[in-house]
Amino acid sequence: MKLINLIPVGTKINFLALRKIAIWSSLALCVGSFGLLLTKGLNFGIDFRGGILLEIRTAQKADLASIRSNLGSLNLGEIELQRFGNDTDVLIRIESQPGGANGQKLAVDKVKKILGPTVDYRRTEFVGPKVSGELIEAGVTAVVLALIAMLMYIWFRFEWQFGIGAVAALSHDVILTIGVFSLLGLEFNLSTIAAILTIAGYSINDTVVVYDRVRENLRKYKVRPLEEVLNMSLNDTLSRTLLTSITTLIALLILYFFGGEVIKDFSFAMIWGVLVGTYSSIYVATPLLSYMNLRASSVALPEDDDNETVRP
């Protein structure tokens, strides 16, 4: 049976010809993401801001203007309304109320009273400011520890040059994901942190595959220029990289369009992460090796000395 290849066997695309443009473009996007984070900030969800979250369903199409007017008369502070999936579903966010748990409960009772008995309350969540602060700290710690752990793994699995390249690519993916959330004003919550950690795992998996082929080719073609070996390795793994990315994207796109509003932002983060993760494996992680004086001797094993050196 004849196999159908997405990418023709023996491709010789010169990926590193664009390495300077790619690296400088990535650096500019990272700086822009930091700028957005400092100026515009993130649209923190109830997990990180603290407050009250209610999901309601009305009998008829929800009249957001009427609901906003009714809730505004309660003097509960900042209130946000968001249509949630169907025209009858609405998310209500209310800022944290004074008085601790009793204050939050009293506010919910006021909301239920003014909206009337015909409204179906499908979800009610309370998050205090102390808990939200702890969640922010825990989220940042989780991401930083994940990056450090991956750096150590790549360092011991390969060499220090590979570790630096991998962490640079991972940091690139994380920063750009945060940047796009800031740019689009998407809700940044615990699900987003989970998506970022998943993106890091996906990206490092793709990078390790490429790096393993780079190391193999460095041992095999010891006298060839490093750029040629890097390009060869990227071409060797290109079919696997694209097939993995495309099949993952198909699943994520279905999840994004049909999975409902609850996981829509998570799905978007994952879609974006797969795209930038694939890009960074090819145009960040691998090209950076060409600037770090990587040599075949640094990745050779003792038994390699007895092997025949393959010359171009």
CATH no. for residue 156?
A: 1.20.1640.10
Identify the domain boundary among 71, 94, 127: 127
Q: How far apart are CA 279 and CA 268, in angstroms?
A: 17
Q: pLDDT-based confidence at 252, cuts 50/70/90?
A: very high
Q: What pLDDT, on a 0 to 100 scale, did the predictor assign at position 197?
A: 85
Same domain (yes/no): 38, 55: no
Same domain (yes/no): 260, 292: yes
Report which listed range, 36-45, 57-66, 175-184, 261-270, is most confident. 175-184
Neighbours of 291 (CB within 10 A): 13
Q: What is the pTM of this model?
A: 0.76
Q: Would residue 165 count as lying in a domain?
A: yes
- Which two three-digit tokens encode residue 73? 């008369």
Q: Would residue 226 count as lying in a domain?
A: yes
Residue type, 310: V
pLDDT value at 16 more than 50: yes
Q: pLDDT-based confidence at 128, cuts 50/70/90?
A: low
Same domain (yes/no): 138, 118: no
- Which two three-digit tokens encode residue 208? 């390790």
Identify the domain boundary among 99, 127, 155: 127
Residue with structure tokens 């095999």?
Answer: 220
Average pLDDT, the chain: 82
Give the residues across from 83 on adjacent strands. Answer: 90
Task: Summarize the confidence of residues 115-134 as an average pLDDT.
Answer: 77
Q: Would residue 311 count as lying in a domain?
A: no
Same domain (yes/no): 141, 243: yes
Same domain (yes/no): 301, 208: yes
Q: Would residue 10 count as lying in a domain?
A: no
Residue type, 76: L
Same domain (yes/no): 199, 170: yes
pLDDT value at 309 more than 50: no
Same domain (yes/no): 145, 182: yes
Same domain (yes/no): 34, 92: no
Identify the domain boundary among 79, 102, 127: 127
Task: Summarize the confidence of residues 235-263 as an average pLDDT.
Answer: 87
Instruction: Supply φ then ψ for residue 78, to 5 degrees.
Output: -70, 130
Q: Which H, E and C letters describe the chain, residue by residue?
A: CCCCCCCCCCCCCCHHHHHHHHHHHHHHHHHHHHHHHHHCCCEECHHHHCEEEEEEECCCCCCHHHHHHHHHCCCCCCEEEEECCCCCEEEEEEECCCCHHHHHHHHHHHHHHHHCCCCEEEEEEEECHHHHHHHHHHHHHHHHHHHHHHHHHHHHHCCHHHHHHHHHHHHHHHHHHHHHHHHHCCEECHHHHHHHHHHHHHHHHHHHHHHHHHHHHHHHCCCCCHHHHHHHHHHHHHHHHHHHHHHHHHHHHHHHHHCCHHHHHHHHHHHHHHHHHHHHHHHHHCHHHHHCCCCHHHCCCHHHHHCCCCCC
87-96 in b/e form (b: 16+ CB < 10 A) is: ebbbbbbbeb
Q: Would residue 312 count as lying in a domain?
A: no
Same domain (yes/no): 119, 251: no
Same domain (yes/no): 164, 251: yes
pLDDT value at 297 more than 70: no
The count of domains in the chain is 2
Q: Which residue has the higher pLDDT, 91 or 179?
A: 179
Same domain (yes/no): 117, 179: no
Structural domain boundaries, residue 105: 51-127
Same domain (yes/no): 146, 252: yes
Q: How far apart are CA 272 and CA 255, in angstroms?
A: 13
Q: Would residue 103 count as lying in a domain?
A: yes
